[in-house]
Amino acid sequence: EKDEPATSKESTTQMTAKSQEDAAEKPKQKLLDIIGNMKVEVSYRKKLQQLKTREIKKQAPDELDSEGAVPQRTAEGIQRSRGKPLNPELVEAASAVASSLPLDKKQTESELLAQLRRHEETTDKQKKGGTVNLRNMIAEMAVKRQTPAQRGVRISNRISLELDEDGQQIKLERVNTRRSLKVGRRLNIFTKASTETEMALKTVSPPTIWDLEFAKELAAVTAQPPRNGFEEMIQWTKEGIMWEFPIDNEAGMEEDAEFHEHIFLEKHLEDFPKQGPIRHFMELVICGLSKNPYLTVRQKIEHIEWFQKYFEEKKEFLQGI
């Protein structure tokens, strides 16, 4: 049942494709145009129908001399059907299409009928306005000149496939897409999730022991043994067993301190007396520390501070000598 009306329509359109002047063919052609414009369908049959409508459209201007004949004829068809609210054939066709789709029948039927009505309205407006509407459209287009240029920029960015140099351009692209996403009517497909309560929960409690345990379990379960040598090497690199290539000679060294902080340690000697054996001794200490590549700056400063404290404690003893 479902296949017959569609196939019969297709056969009829194929039969009557050449005879464009047939009146009965126009509402069917219009319906096929509508079906071609429908955005709901997903199945392969609809794509076939779309292809056929495009073929018919291509055939139509070839056979007819004037390009405006088709919309005029559709407008005439609409004029004839406007007497009744909707052409009963169209209604039947809409019901057949709705039944053929796997979605909710009544909803698709109502959507198709609404689409038909919208189409009628738009064609009425076209018929009334004529060139005036076009002029308005062009005037509007003149105001929004940026969008086609932006689109061209986006297309050129996509084609170029460069990431390093055009990083900024791609960021702009992303910003533009974000703006365009929020513009327009809402589809009301998704319900608004309450994000406020989630945020409040997260800020209140730090990760509990159970969360940590769960995370550890997840990591243990998802960490599959390496399937090949490459994955093994990746795992070793992450753990630190294997070095990273190309070899970085300064891997693992402290990154904070510059060379001058290691070598020029005289500024730490300000508290010491400037004459005498202690100063001599400390200068030797500093010379040795500056040549030591294995200690951190912090450790060297700690050495010098310990000596300072030691000599402070022994000051009375030293003055006795």
Partner 1 sequence: PCTRQVRGYYVDWRMLRDVKRRKLAYEYADQRLRINAIRKNTILPKELQEVADKEITELPRDSCPVRIRNRCVLTSRPRGVKRRWRLSRIVFRHFADHAQMSGVQRSMW
Is residue 317 within the footprint of partner 1 (CB under 8 A)? yes
Is residue 318 within the footprint of partner 1 (CB under 8 A)? yes
Separation CA 213–CA 312 (nearest Å):
52
- Phi-psi group of 184: left, alpha or beta (phi > 0 → left; psi -120 to 50 → alpha; rest → beta): left
Our CB check for partner 1 shows the closer of 35 and 289 to be: 289
Q: How many residues does the chain have?
A: 321
Residue 56 identity = I
Is residue 54 within the footprint of partner 1 (CB under 8 A)? no
Our CB check for partner 1 shows the closer of 121 and 302 to be: 302
The distance of closest approach from Cβ of residue 172 to partner 1 in the complex, given in angstroms and rounded to an integer, is 56
Measured CA to CA in angstroms, residue 17 lies from 23, 65, 74, 116 at distances of: 12, 16, 15, 22
Q: Is 242 within 8 Å of 235 (Cβ atoms)?
A: no
Task: Please work out the total of residues on this chain that contact partner 1, with binding judged by CB under 8 A.
Answer: 15
Determine the number of helices (DSSP H) and then strands (DSSP E) in the chain: 16, 0
Is residue 216 within the footprint of partner 1 (CB under 8 A)? no
The distance of closest approach from Cβ of residue 311 to partner 1 in the complex, given in angstroms and rounded to an integer, is 9
Is residue 306 within the footprint of partner 1 (CB under 8 A)? yes
Separation CA 174–CA 171 (nearest Å):
5
Choose, by CB under 8 A, the member of 60, 301, 307, 308 that binds partner 1.
307
Choose, by CB under 8 A, the member of 155, 234, 263, 284 that binds partner 1.
284
- For 293-296, which contacts have Cβ atoms below 8 Å and span 24 or more sequence positions? 293/262, 296/254, 296/257
End-to-end CA distance of the chain: 120
| Pattern 218-257, partner 1, x by CB under 8 A | ----------------------------------------
The distance of closest approach from Cβ of residue 314 to partner 1 in the complex, given in angstroms and rounded to an integer, is 7
**Piece in contact with partner 1 (CB under 8 A), picked from 56-64, 72-80, 103-111, 278-286:** 278-286
Q: Is 32 within 8 Å of 49 (Cβ atoms)?
A: yes
| Pattern 152-191, partner 1, x by CB under 8 A | ----------------------------------------
Is residue 285 within the footprint of partner 1 (CB under 8 A)? yes
With a CB cutoff of 8 Å and minimum separation 6, the contacts of 37 are 115, 119
Nearest in space to 108 (alpha carbons), one of 98, 95, 100, 99? 98
The residue ranges that bind partner 1 (CB under 8 A) are 277-278, 280-281, 284-285, 302-303, 306-307, 310, 314, 317-318, 321
